[in-house]
């Protein structure tokens, strides 16, 4: 067994933990990581001793505090979230709807933060969850400002459908992306569920590149899209400024 394969096996053990499977027995870890039980036992032991995993009273393993501490250093996780939080709270205060912050990873959006009110529409996003780019407002923003090669790869990859309204035609998607770049915001209407609409705007880093997107998700019935657009754009500009972006040339 080389160091290379041992490293991959260790990462496979960590990768066994997912939102749907946050607590696992040793046997489950071995199965999910595709490892013999003795190998899983040894790797879980190393991870637990280091603090990457913790064992509860029932014998199941959870992600540990030390891994969380190291993850707080991720620039696109906690660091971005801390810069954005005051603006997300302002946006929530102004709308009392679901407010979301997301980044792109490959062909998906990953939600970094979400503030939701008790009366807000139910949404499927969770912190740490992933969704395809074309079906979400934040994803449209991130795709629209991505490299042309990314957009081509995304369209070639096939566009999954979630509701009768989901855009699955690459030509339509390309027109929408051009519109997002032109207007500085994206409207995603019933693309993931047939009762919700989201309005999203870009967040730019110090160099002007789009590093994240912020959105508000509202019920389709009675949605005041034109009133939400300026609020979401202002939040996006505010977060960009907090990240060191000089105002002006968007």
Select from 105, 93, 107 the least CA-distant residue to 216: 93
Question: Tokens 């096996």 correspond to what residue?
Answer: 9
- Stretches 36-44, 146-154, 213-221, 240-248: which one binds a second copy (CB under 8 A)? 36-44
**Site of tokens 């990581």:** 33
CB of 29 to a second copy, least distance (A): 13
Nearest distance from residue 133's CB to a second copy, in Å? 15
Please state, in angstroms and rounded to a whole number, the distance separating the CA atoms of residues 87 and 243. 12
Asked if residue 160 binds a second copy (CB under 8 A), the reply is no
Report the residue from 58, 73, 147, 148 that binds a second copy according to the rule CB under 8 A: 73
Q: Which residue has the tokens 């929408």?
A: 176
Q: Strands, DSSP E only, in the chain?
A: 53-55, 61-63, 98-105, 108-115, 130-132, 186-189, 196-204, 210-219
Q: 139 vs 10, 37, 131, 158, CA distance in Å?
A: 31, 40, 8, 15
Helices (H), 157-219: 170-183
Scanning 44-52, 145-153, 184-192, 232-240 for contacts with a second copy by CB under 8 A, the matching segment is 44-52
**Nearer to a second copy among residue 17 and residue 154 (C-beta):** 17
Closest approach of Cβ 1 to a second copy, in Å? 5
Q: Which residues lie below 8 Å from residue 188, measured CB to CB, with a gap of 6+?
A: 135, 136, 137, 139, 140, 197, 198, 199, 200
The answer to whether 63 contacts a second copy (rule: CB under 8 A) is yes
| Chosen residue from 26, 94, 107, 127 binding a second copy by CB under 8 A | 127
Q: Does 42 bind a second copy (CB under 8 A)?
A: yes
Contact flag: residue 147 with a second copy (CB under 8 A): no
> Which residue in the set 101, 103, 218, 229 belongs to the binding site for a second copy (CB under 8 A)?
103
Residue numbers of the site for a second copy (CB under 8 A)?
Answer: 1-4, 6-11, 14-15, 17-19, 22, 39, 42-43, 46-47, 50-52, 54, 62-79, 82, 103, 105, 110, 127-128
């Amino acid at each position: 067994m080389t160091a290379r394969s041992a490293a991959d096996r260790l990462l496979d053990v960590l990768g066994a933990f997912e939102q749907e499977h946050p607590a696992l027995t040793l046997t489950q870890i071995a199965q999910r990581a595709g490892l013999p039980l003795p190998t899983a036992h040894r790797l879980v032991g190393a991870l637990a001793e280091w603090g990457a995993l913790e064992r509860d009273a029932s014998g199941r393993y959870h992600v540990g505090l030390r891994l969380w501490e190291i993850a707080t250093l991720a620039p696109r996780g906690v660091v971005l979230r801390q810069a954005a939080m005051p603006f997300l709270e302002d946006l929530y205060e102004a709308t009392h709807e679901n407010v979301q912050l997301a980044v792109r990873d490959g062909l998906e959006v990953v939600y970094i933060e979400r503030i939701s009110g008790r009366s807000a529409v139910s949404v499927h996003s969770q912190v740490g969850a992933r969704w395809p780019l074309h079906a979400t407002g934040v994803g449209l923003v991130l795709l629209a400002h991505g490299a042309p090669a990314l957009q081509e790869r995304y369209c070639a990859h096939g566009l999954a459908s979630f509701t009768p309204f989901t855009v699955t035609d690459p030509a339509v998607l390309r027109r929408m992306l051009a519109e997002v770049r032109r207007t500085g915001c994206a409207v995603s209407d019933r693309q993931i569920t047939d009762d919700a609409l989201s309005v999203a705007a870009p967040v730019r880093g110090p160099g002007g590149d789009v590093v994240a997107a912020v959105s508000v998700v509202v019920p389709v019935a009675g949605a005041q899209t034109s009133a939400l657009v300026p609020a979401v754009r202002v939040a996006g500009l505010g977060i960009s400024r907090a990240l060191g972006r000089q105002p002006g040339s968007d």
